[in-house]
Structures are given as structure tokens and as C-alpha cells.
Structure 1
Amino acid sequence: MVTTNDVRNFVKSESYINLLNRTILTLQLDFSDEEPESQMFNIDAGMINKSNIGLDKLLTLCVEDVDKLIRYVELKLLNIEDDVDEYNEDEEDKDVLIERSPFYKTFLISYLIEYFFLKNDPKGLDGYLKALRIPSYKKYASELKDIYGQL
């Protein structure tokens, strides 16, 4: 079982930091150097535990699949921005963006888990998303598979 401290150590590893730095530079993301709140590490530990993927496997991805992971993050971020308007068809229901927060150093963990499933166990992705209680998880899994197919 992955603990909060395991996640703290994971994001301090050389492999993760290298991937994080390359992602931020390549995609020109707004990034915060501040330490995330403890709750963020708790959430990430929970995601990793629900995935049943060992941190060693995620670290391997950080080394072996750097370019594809960065491309996956880029495509997913583009897809997310495109999907926002899909849910706000009525002009009165439009969300107003007040402030866009910078990314924290833990943000890649969810991308790593999704990418791991897409690469190694696409059928397991549905179960993982269901365990996270993602609404319309089958549709979301299909969207992730389409994004992965563009790599």
C-alpha cells in the first residue's frame, strides 16, 4: 500500500523531476514550486492504491516513455479545454473563469496512471476509473483511448 510519504518521495525522485521539468518546459505550463497541501499527497496515494500499480512501474514510465508521456499530457490538456464548451451549450450556463491555478509538482501522477493502463492494460482502465467514481467513466475511458491512439 502506497502512503502519503511514499508519494512525497516519488515526486522528489530524479526520474519524476526530470519528466516534470521537461513537461513544463515543452508545454510551457504555469507551474508552482510551492509544496502541495498534504491532502494532495493523500489523494494521489489513494489513486495509486486504487490502480494497484506499483511506484516502481510508474518510475519506469518516467524514464522510458518521456516523449510519449509529454505528448499524452499535451493532447489530454487540449482535449479537456475543447470539452468544456460541450457541457455548456446554453449561454446562461456558461462558467466564468475567475483564476487559473498553476500546476503543482504532483499533477503528473494521474497522467502516469492513465498512461500505464493505456499502454499495458487498456481493459483495466475502466475498472480503475470506476473505482475513482468518475462520472460516465466508460465514455471518459473511450476518450482517453482515443487520445492515446494519437501518440
Structure 2
Amino acid sequence: MVDVNDVCDWVGSDTYVELLEFLRIGRKVAVNDEPVAEILLGHDVNKMNAASVSIADLKKVAENKHQFLDFFSAKLRLINGTENEQEGKCEEDDDDVVLKLHPFYKNFLNIYLIELCLLVSKPELLDSYLKAIRIPSSKKYASQLRVAYKSIL
């Protein structure tokens, strides 16, 4: 089981920071350099525990920077335009109005790392993980993740 201190240490680790910098340079991703709030790290803890992955599992996936970058790009291409489905938005809901775009918090890579870790080493757990963290249309999303992963092999 992972706890908040483990995740905080992980987000500050050399492996994680190097991957974050690799993504900043390779994909020009804007990242907020302020410390990550404990509540956000708590969400990561819940996701890691729901996926039954350890920091060591994530580190192993993170060390293959090129595979991660390819998966990150493939996933974003595949889910582009499906944001409303992922948020559980109904057709009769009003359109969202973007007031301001903020950079990602440093811990944002964890969700991608968890998904890639599951696809690489525990693909049979992907569906139950997505359902456990309450992703709307989790079966469709799992299918999209599998397609993104297969496209980088």
C-alpha cells in the first residue's frame, strides 16, 4: 500500500523529475512548479492503491521515457474530443466555458504512469481499476487506452 509520503517522495524523485522535464521539452507541456497540495497527492494514493501498483512499478515504467512519451501522445490523440464523455456530461448540459488555462500540477503524470503500468504488466486489472476510480464509460475508455498502447508497440 502506498501513502501520501511515498507519493510526495516519488514526485520529487530524480526519475519522476527527469520524465517531467523530458515531457516539458518533448511536448512543451506547461507544469506548475509549486508544491503539490496534499489532497491531490491523496487522490494519487487512492488510484495507485486501487490499481495495486507500487512506486517501484511506476518507476520501472517511467524509466522508459520514449515509450511513455509515445503512450502519452497516442492517448491524447485518441481521447481528443471525448472530454464530455469522460466527465459524464449529458447532451442537455450547457457547454463549458474556459476562463483560464492553468499549467498542470507536477503530479499529473501519475495517472498516465498507472495506466501504462497496467497496460504493460497487469492488463487484466485495467477495467476493474477504471471502474474503481469511477471513470464514466470506463469500458470505452479502457478500449481507447488499449488502442493507444497497441499503437506504440
Give 1:80's aligned residue: 79
Deviation at 1:92, TM superposition (A): 8.2
Number of residues paired by the alignment?
150
Taking the TM superposition and a 5 Å limit, the aligned residue runs for 1:28-43 are: 28-43=28-43
TM-score using structure 2 length: 0.88
User: Unmatched 5+ residue regions in structure 1?
Assistant: none
- The equivalent of 1:100 in structure 2 is 101
Fraction of identical pairs, as percent: 35
TM-score under structure 1 length normalisation: 0.89
1:39-58 alignment, distance < 5 Å:
39-58=39-58
> 4+ residue runs of structure 1 moved beyond 4 angstroms?
85-92
Whether 1:140 aligns to 2:138 is no
TM-superposed CA distance for 1:31, in Å, is 1.2
Preserved contact between residue 88 and residue 94 of structure 1 (Cα < 8 Å): no
Q: Which residue of 1 aligns with 2:121?
A: 120
- State the one-letter code of the partner of 1:75: A
Instruction: Look up the match of 2:151.
Output: 150
- Spell out, residue by residue over 1:100-146, the C-alpha distance to the aligned partner (whole angstroms, 9 max, x if none): 12111100001001001111122210011111111111111001111
The CA RMSD over aligned residues, in Å, is 2.1
Given the superposition, is the C-alpha separation of residues 133 and 89 from structure 1 closer, same or farther in structure 2, using an over 3 Å criterion? closer
Deviations along 1:40-97, one digit per CA (max 9) or x if unpaired, are 111111111111111111111111x210101111222233332247798979843222
Provide the rounded CA distance (Å) in 2 between the counterparts of 1:131 and 1:90.
25
Letter in 2 for 1:20: L
Letter aligned with residue 71 of structure 2: Y
Give yes or no for contact 2:79–2:144 (8 Å, CA) kept in 1: no
